[in-house]
């Protein structure tokens, strides 16, 4: 089923009208001193890096601004920002239409292979993507940029990886790794160095940028503006080297 020409015209005009209504409502709330919640999308894995510490720090500085967090992969979260369903999203910034959005890079990271000390790669100082050909792998959910990046790399060298699970929760991934059921490709910052997990750099380095995105041309209410400014300050203090 597809829209008729008349239906397509109505759809486009209705979208413009709805956007205007949402932005006007937001402006009027600001003028009336009514505080709207700041709606933020965040992938579950990235939430381990930034929350609850960042949220607690924000609430301490701005106790009257409510925050609502929604767990989505980076691709879905960014799409919901564009659709005005979310105000902001914390995302992996390596997706094709990032230039269509306002953005602020928080930190630079890279992908490593995380394995248990009993894994056959545990003593390796580094590995190549080709070496993962026959390995049991735990991958992040399919709506993530990280997953898209890795899938493209595998495809470029003609490898079909042995993926045993797609997961979204770090607890589940860590459990599989600790039982030596497979390795997981994760951001280097996700798992702290510990005796129970080995992080092996993948060469060439798979660099990734993590940042905050919001819609271009959209009215930013005072709560969202404060959250963006706070994120900049928080990132500079916590990740000064990046």
Q: How far is CA 64 from CA 35, 214, 216, 217, in A?
A: 8, 22, 26, 26
Distance of CA 168 to CAs 47, 115, 134, 205, Å? 11, 17, 23, 23
Q: Which long-range contacts (CB under 8 A, 24 or more apart) does 57-65 make?
A: 57/230, 57/234, 58/227, 58/230, 58/234, 61/230, 62/223, 62/226, 62/230, 64/35, 65/35, 65/37, 65/38, 65/223, 65/226, 65/227
Whether 119 shows a pLDDT value over 90: the answer reads yes
Token pair belonging to 132: 């993962």
Q: What is the mean pLDDT of residues 214-219?
A: 90
Cis peptide before 204 (omega within 30 of 0): yes
pLDDT confidence of residue 81: 95
Lookup: tokens for 181: 């059921």
Q: Is the pTM of this model over 0.85?
A: no
Give pLDDT, residue 79: 93
| % of the chain residues with pLDDT over 70 | 91
Model confidence band, residue 88 (pLDDT cutoffs 50, 70, 90): very high
Residue 214 has pLDDT above 90, yes or no: yes
Q: Mean per-residue pLDDT for 151-163?
A: 92
Q: How confident is the prediction for the chain on average, in pLDDT? A: 87
Instruction: Walk me through the domains of the chain, giving residue ranges and CATH numbers.
Output: 5-107+209-238 (3.40.190.10), 109-208 (3.40.190.290)
pLDDT, tens digit, for every residue of 32-72? 556 789 999 998 888 888 888 899 999 999 999 999 999 99
Highest mean pLDDT among 34-38, 115-119, 194-198: 115-119
pLDDT score at 226: 95
Tell me the Ramachandran region of residue 91: left when phi exceeds 0, alpha when psi lies from -120 to 50, beta otherwise. Answer: beta
Tell me whether residue 144 is exposed, middle or buried, using C-beta atoms within 10 angstroms of its C-beta: 0 to 12, 13 to 18, 19 or more: buried
Q: Take residue 200 and report the two structure tokens written for it.
A: 């092996």
């Amino acid at each position: 089923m597809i829209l008729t020409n008349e239906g397509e015209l109505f759809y486009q005009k209705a979208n413009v009208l709805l956007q205007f209504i949402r932005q006007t409502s937001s402006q009027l709330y600001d003028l009336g001193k009514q505080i709207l919640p700041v709606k933020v999308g965040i992938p579950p894995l990235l939430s381990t890096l930034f929350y609850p510490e960042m949220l607690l720090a924000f609430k301490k500085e701005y106790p009257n601004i409510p925050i609502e967090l929604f767990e989505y992969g980076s691709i879905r979260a960014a799409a919901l920002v564009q659709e005005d369903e979310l105000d902001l999203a914390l995302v992996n910034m390596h997706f094709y239409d990032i230039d269509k959005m306002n953005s602020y890079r928080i930190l630079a990271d890279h992908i490593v292979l995380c394995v248990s000390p009993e894994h056959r790669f545990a003593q390796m100082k580094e590995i190549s993507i080709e070496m993962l050909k026959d390995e049991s792998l735990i991958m992040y959910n399919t709506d993530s940029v990280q997953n898209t990046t890795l899938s493209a790399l595998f495809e470029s060298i003609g490898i079909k990886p042995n993926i045993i699970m797609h997961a979204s929760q770090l607890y589940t991934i860590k459990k599989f790794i600790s039982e030596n059921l497979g390795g997981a490709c994760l951001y280097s910052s996700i798992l702290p160095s510990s005796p129970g997990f080995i992080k092996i750099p993948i060469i060439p380095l798979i660099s990734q940028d993590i940042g905050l995105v919001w819609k271009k041309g959209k009215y930013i209410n005072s709560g969202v503006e404060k959250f963006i400014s706070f994120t900049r300050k928080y990132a500079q203090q916590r990740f000064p080297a990046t």
